[in-house]
Amino acid sequence: MVERNVVKLSENVYWVGSRDWNRRLFDALIPLPRGTSYNAYLVIGEKENALIDTVNPGFEKELEEKIHAVIRPETIDYVIMNHAEPDHAGAIPHIMKLATKAKLIATNRGAKMAQTFYAVPKDRIKVVGDNETLSLGGKTLRFIEAPMLHWPETMFTYLQEDKILFPCDFFGAHLAGWLYDDEVEDLLVHAQRYWGEIMMPFRAMAQKALEKIQGLDIKMIAPSHGPIHRNPEHILDAYRRWANGETRQKATIAYVSMWNSTEKMVKQIAETLAAEDVEIALHNLAITDTGDLAKDLVDSKALVLGAPTVLGVAHPLAVYAAYLVKALRPPIKYVVLLSSYGWGGGAIKHVQEVLGQFKVEVVGAVDVNGPPTEENTRKIVEMGKVLAKKIKEEA
């Protein structure tokens, strides 16, 4: 028997979430080096109560036991579904079965997803509109539509009396440990990584959502992953920068090399850029953590992609990196492509095809047969200087 840890955030507001210490992958794609948490919250009003979000499948019993530490789960009046993804909505069937009188609250799109994904009967769903409120008695919940952060149905819930914003995935971080932001020294590094992996493709929608909550008096932000922000100005400030696409005097270099030729080229340009006072984040794609790469793309002004030719096309890891850049849509402005081939090129053309419509200025490309010659190296140094100048002019 585990003694469940329920945390009181404010009067009659409790964290009843779960910590998934050993989870190492999200969406079978995103590495989670420090696990993650699925934060769920209980708000108890004078007349009614509400559970805000639930937990990942497999943690239903834990959630039930935590709720039980505060109220009998059967007495839940409302289950607020800010987001339909299973890591937050996966325990909805369990809770709705326990709490037979509970209504599920969701946006219009969320209501459809609740029926499709979780078989919630239509007559048990209450659809709420943007800015609609629900009084639990001394606790008023305001629902704020925030679509495409990062699914179409997403919304935030704001608890007016306590000034707590529950934004589900927005403002989150994949960290299993810690409860509050000020307990984590490098929280913004993890939050940046999370932004890069999940929110960066939706920068325009993030800007809209940030504008929408600008007028709210927010004392605490309680997201659905990672620590709760009791100093919300830090994460709000970071999100404003990232959503605006603010970059640093920085280049991300991502490369793969089979026989060190491409590596020699990328290391040369790294030397040149560093000498020109450009911050470098270098990722060997054969060993790097893609979450770290996503994090560095968030605030880089340029990308150098080292992509050797293998079997007439770009190395698969370089293709993956180019595809990732296109999918995550970072605010990078400049690209340099470096490549080496044994007996026939093709990688440069291939990665450009993969990048497709992604709008960047290709500052230059160097395609070398075998290891780089002195002349190749001179060209790379020149290209590095041109790139550094562009990066610094933009800064």
Going across the sheet that includes 41-44, the strands are 7-10, 13-15, 41-44, 49-52, 78-80, 103-106, 125-127
> Assign residue 58 a region: left if phi > 0, alpha if psi is -120 to 50, beta otherwise?
left
Min dist CB 201 to ligand FEO, Å, is 13
Q: Of the candidates 60, 62, 77, 87, which one interacts with ligand FEO according to CB under 6 A?
A: 87
How far, in Å, CA of 245 to CA of 293, rounded? 16
Which of the ranges 9-17, 81-89, 99-107, 136-144 carries the binding residues for ligand FEO, by CB under 6 A? 81-89
Closest-by-Cβ residue to ligand FEO is 85
| Residue ranges in 158-177 that form contacts with ligand FEO under rule CB under 6 A | 169
> In what helix (H) or strand (E) does residue 86 lie, and over which residues does it extend?
helix 86-89
Among 19, 103, 139, 225, the residue binding ligand FEO under the rule CB under 6 A is: 225
Cβ nearer to ligand FEO, comparing 21 with 259: 21
Give the nearer residue to ligand FEO in terms of CB position, either 37 or 339.
Answer: 37
Q: How far is the CB of 62 from ligand FEO (least distance, A)?
A: 17
C-alpha count within 13 angstroms, C-beta hemisphere, residue 278? 32
224 sits near ligand FEO (criterion: CB under 6 A):
yes
Task: Tell me if 157 sits within 8 A of 52, measured CB to CB.
Answer: yes
For 343, the token pair is 């007996």
How many Å apart are CA 215 and CA 236, to the nearest integer?
A: 13
From 83-91, 105-113, 258-266, 340-348, span contacting ligand FEO (CB under 6 A): 83-91
Q: How far is the CB of 222 from ligand FEO (least distance, A)?
A: 14
Under 8 Å between Cβ of 69 and 44: no
Asked if 295 touches ligand FEO (CB under 6 A), the answer is: no
Instruction: Say how many CA atoms lie within 13 Å of 337 toward its Cβ.
Output: 27
For residue 109, CA distances in Å to 128, 148, 192, 233, 319 come to 10, 11, 28, 30, 35
Residue 224 or 288 having the CB closest to ligand FEO: 224
Cβ pair 251, 303 in contact under 8 A: yes
Among 83, 103, 229, 350, binds ligand FEO (CB under 6 A): 83
Segment contacting ligand FEO by CB under 6 A, of 42-50, 79-87, 100-108, 183-191 = 79-87
Query: What's the min distance (Å) between Cβ of 37 and ligand FEO?
Result: 10
88 binds ligand FEO (CB under 6 A): yes
* Of the candidates 326, 327, 384, 316, the residue with the CA atom closest to the CA atom of residue 350: 316
For residues 86 and 371, which CB has a smaller minimum distance to ligand FEO in the complex? 86
Beta carbon of residue 203, minimum distance to ligand FEO (angstroms, whole number): 17
Under rule CB under 6 A, residue 85 binds ligand FEO: yes
Beta bridge partners of 15: 7, 41
Instruction: CB nearer to ligand FEO: give 93 or 346.
Output: 93
Using CB under 6 A, list all residues that contact ligand FEO: 83, 85, 87-88, 150, 169, 224-225
